[in-house]
């Protein structure tokens, strides 16, 4: 989870590969209307995001995901969004990718072929409610290379499964 440009898809794919589970690209679940709105530089509202979050939740809550696990990329910017995702998947863990605004802007500026324009970074940062300690997030600084982030995520997940 995190704002656009933080590396959710890259880290998520690598993490899913290392865990041997399926990866769900949250961006692919947006409606055509949402994609068009974002492509036009218009931030999504809570109402816009609701159906999309439900689609992500369905991917997390399906029997295959429950049996074998799944990694999904999803901005999950607000606690109410994360609560909706957790409602059907109580064991859901969030890996919060966060970083410097300048680094995020640089990444968005150099990204091609994505509908999310760099101009929406500020609205995402304004919307972001970082997960609280009570949500037990795995917080990772995106200044590190994706393979290192995956290693840190794996270590944190293992520690959650096998507390000392």
pLDDT digits (tens, 9 = 90+) for 3-28: 998 999 999 999 999 999 999 999 99
Residue-level pLDDT at 2: 97
Question: What pLDDT score was predicted for residue 160?
Answer: 85
pLDDT of residue 117: 72
- Encode pLDDT of 25-72 as tens digits: 999 999 999 999 988 889 889 999 999 999 999 999 887 766 788 999
The mean predicted confidence, pLDDT, of the chain is 91
Q: Which two tokens stand for residue 101?
A: 């605004």
Is residue 89 pLDDT above 70, yes or no? yes
DSSP character at residue 42:
P
Secondary structure class of 138 (helix, strand, coil) = strand
**Mean pLDDT along residues 124-146:** 96
Tallying the residues shown for the chain, one arrives at: 164
Distance separating alpha carbons of residues 145 and 131, to the nearest angstrom: 22
State which of 38-52, 73-87, 97-111, 114-128 shows the largest mean pLDDT.
73-87
Which residues are CB-neighbours of 156 under 8 A, at least 6 positions away?
95, 138
5 in Cβ contact with 111 (< 8 Å): yes
Where do the domains of the chain lie, and which CATH numbers do they carry?
8-161 (3.40.50.300)
- Please indicate whether residue 108 or residue 112 has the higher confidence score (pLDDT): 108
Residue 6 and residue 99 in contact, taking contact as beta carbons nearer than 8 Å: yes
Residue 113 confidence (pLDDT): 64
Maximum Cα–Cα distance across the chain = 50
């Amino acid at each position: 989870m995190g704002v656009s440009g933080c590396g959710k898809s890259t880290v998520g794919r690598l993490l899913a590969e290392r865990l041997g589970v399926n990866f769900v690209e949250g961006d692919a679940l947006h409606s055509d209307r949402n994609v068009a709105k974002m492509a036009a530089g218009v931030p999504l509202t809570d109402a816009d995001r609701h159906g999309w979050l439900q689609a992500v939740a369905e991917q997390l809550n399906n029997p295959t995901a429950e049996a074998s696990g799944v990694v999904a990329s999803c901005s999950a910017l607000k606690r109410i969004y994360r609560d909706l995702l957790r409602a059907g998947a109580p064991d859901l863990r969030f890996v919060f990718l966060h970083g410097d605004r300048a680094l995020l802007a640089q990444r968005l500026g150099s990204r091609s072929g994505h509908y999310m324009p760099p101009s929406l970074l500020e609205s995402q940062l304004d919307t972001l409610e970082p997960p609280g300690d009570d949500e037990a997030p795995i917080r990772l600084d995106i200044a590190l290379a994706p393979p290192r982030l995956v290693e840190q995520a794996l270590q944190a997940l293992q520690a959650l499964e096998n507390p000392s």
